Amino acid sequence: MPTPLLRIAALLVVLLPGTAHAAAEDRLSRAVERGKQATVGILDSTPDARQSGFEARFSLRGTGVHLRDGYILTVRHAVERTEGGKTVLPKRIIILTQGHHELAATLVGGTGFLDLALYQFEPPDAPLLVTTTVFAGGEALPGQEVFTVGYPLGWGPVIAFGRMGNVNAFLPTVETRLLQATLPSCNGNSGGGLFNTDGELVGIMHAVIKTELVQGEAGCSHLAFAVPGTLAKKIVEALVKGEQPGFARLGIQLTVVKVGSRWRTAAGKVSEPALAGGVQKGDLLLAIDGKEIRDAAFLKNYLMEHAVPGQPVTLLVKRSDKELTLTVTAGRASDER
């Protein structure tokens, strides 16, 4: 049995809020430093231009993050270039580390669906960037504290803090949902990590809705959007294996119809593989694999995140006054953008 003095000491430990606060601040500080050291800048110049002796001006066009083994993840639009009138992913890029080393990285692969590109350092340079980060184990949650590290408007690194907002946001720039966060960001933040307070990746910065003037142009905002980390991880794992990420499709052009007072998702034009599975134009889409289809966005997300080409999925549909259970073998969506 503890003595009164020991009980008092235990109470003092419990009642000292500053101790817990200081520990949390220390953890966040370490997470921020880790995120910062794992962040790289994407240079505007190309390896060919540097090797030719042409001195391009020092300019950063975007941000990337080091995952492991020299793999650098960024967004396509931060590295894409125009060649022969076409927009292409360059085979090699130059990045700038926190130690101010300029390193060349070679293209591993990319996907237009999620606007992502994966590069890797050439072997001699890999030891120059040792700090890594990992994807968070779970989904980002509304209200969660987050931060990003990047090169807004070509300078930095800049560290910005905020909170998660809508985790099911949509923009016409990608074929999937995006995470919306409320934190300061500008052009150039694209490709940087969106980190939780443990320094883990919950997303990859994709776009901002430009609302603030910078040097006469709208370039910054507090409304930022990121590719979900769960999806980015799926892409990276496939590309590292030398595979092209596969996304499922049903072949249903979605529409909405009003049933009573509620708008419901329905099948518009139907093609393969949904046609082979028995789906007909006008069918109300009620559920997929036992999960209610609340809207078109839910169905799209489910296919992107939980299904793969060749996988059978079960659709519950309503046709006239009957509910039917149909099995559709998912096809493969084209990734051409």
The DSSP secondary-structure symbol of 98 reads T
What pLDDT does 3 receive?
A: 52
Whether residue 63 sits in one domain with residue 112: yes
What pLDDT does 58 receive?
A: 65
What pLDDT does 212 receive?
A: 67
Tally the C-alpha atoms within 13 A of residue 243's C-alpha that lie toward its C-beta.
9
What is the spatial distance between Cα 330 and Cα 312, in angstroms, rounded to a whole number?
Answer: 6
Pairing status of strand 248-249 against strand 252-259: unpaired
Q: Is residue 51's pLDDT more than 80?
A: no
Mean pLDDT of the chain: 87
Whether residue 70 sits in one domain with residue 29: no
Q: Confidence band (pLDDT; 50, 70, 90) for 309?
A: very high
Cα-to-chain-centroid distance, residue 185: 15
What stretch of H or E contains 42? strand 39-43
Q: Residue 289 in contact with residue 278, Cβ under 8 Å? A: no
Whether residue 154 sits in one domain with residue 110: no
What is the spatial distance between Cα 235 and Cα 255, in angstroms, rounded to a whole number?
Answer: 29
Q: How many domains does the chain have?
A: 4
What pLDDT does 17 receive?
A: 62
Question: Last residue of some domain: 194, 213, 240?
Answer: 240
Cα three-residue angle 194-200-309, rounded to 5 degrees: 80
Terminal alpha carbon distance of the chain: 71
Whether residue 12 sits in one domain with residue 75: no
Cis peptide before 157 (omega within 30 of 0): yes
What pLDDT does 183 receive?
A: 95
* % of the chain beyond a pLDDT of 70: 86
Mean pLDDT confidence for 95-112: 91
Q: Is residue 197's pLDDT more than 90?
A: yes
Whether residue 45 sits in one domain with residue 84: yes
Tally the C-alpha atoms within 13 A of residue 93's C-alpha that lie toward its C-beta.
35
Whether residue 10 sits in one domain with residue 44: no
| 301 in a structural domain | yes
Is the backbone of residue 225 left (phi > 0), alpha (psi -120 to 50) or beta? beta
What pLDDT does 11 receive?
A: 47
Whether residue 97 sits in one domain with residue 149: no
Torsional sign, CA 249, 250, 253, 259: negative
Question: pLDDT, tens digit, for every residue of 222-258?
Answer: 999 999 999 999 999 999 999 888 889 999 999 999 9
Beta bridge partners of 182: 163, 223
| 140 in a structural domain | no
Whether residue 276 sits in one domain with residue 227: no
Mean pLDDT confidence for 122-135: 78
What pLDDT does 335 receive?
A: 62
Beta bridge partners of 224: 181, 208
Q: Is residue 48's pLDDT more than 80?
A: no
Q: Residue 188 in contact with residue 158, Cβ under 8 Å? A: no
More confident position, 337 or 214:
214
What is the spatial distance between Cα 134 and Cα 200, in angstroms, rounded to a whole number?
Answer: 5
What is the spatial distance between Cα 226 and Cα 170, in angstroms, rounded to a whole number?
Answer: 10
Mean pLDDT confidence for 182-201: 95
* % of the chain beyond a pLDDT of 90: 61
- Lowest mean pLDDT: which of 72-76, 169-173, 272-276? 169-173
Residue 310, number of CB atoms within 10 A of its CB = 12
Whether residue 227 sits in one domain with residue 155: yes
Residue 333: what are its φ and ψ, rounded to 5°? -80, 145
Whether residue 303 sits in one domain with residue 218: no
More confident position, 273 or 296:
273
Here the CATH number for the domain that contains residue 114 is 2.40.10.10
State which residues form the domain around 258. 248-332
| 133 in a structural domain | no
Mean pLDDT confidence for 31-46: 91
Q: For the range 76-83, what are the long-range contacts, defined as Cβ-Cβ under 8 Å and sequence gap of 24 or more?
A: 76/110, 76/111, 76/112, 76/115, 76/116, 76/117, 77/115, 77/190, 78/42, 78/117, 78/190, 78/191, 79/42, 79/117, 79/119, 79/191, 81/46
Tokens representing 180 are 């919306």
What pLDDT does 167 receive?
A: 94
Is the backbone of residue 9 left (phi > 0), alpha (psi -120 to 50) or beta? alpha
- Lowest mean pLDDT: which of 6-20, 186-200, 216-230? 6-20
Here the CATH number for the domain that contains residue 304 is 2.30.42.10
Question: Last residue of some domain: 240, 259, 277?
Answer: 240
- Lowest mean pLDDT: which of 118-122, 172-176, 221-225, 252-256? 172-176
Question: Last residue of some domain: 193, 218, 240?
Answer: 240
Q: Confidence band (pLDDT; 50, 70, 90) for 6?
A: very low
More confident position, 20 or 12:
20
Q: Is residue 157's pLDDT more than 80?
A: yes
Q: Residue 93 in contact with residue 103, Cβ under 8 Å? A: no
Tokens representing 103 are 């390193």
Whether residue 120 sits in one domain with residue 60: yes
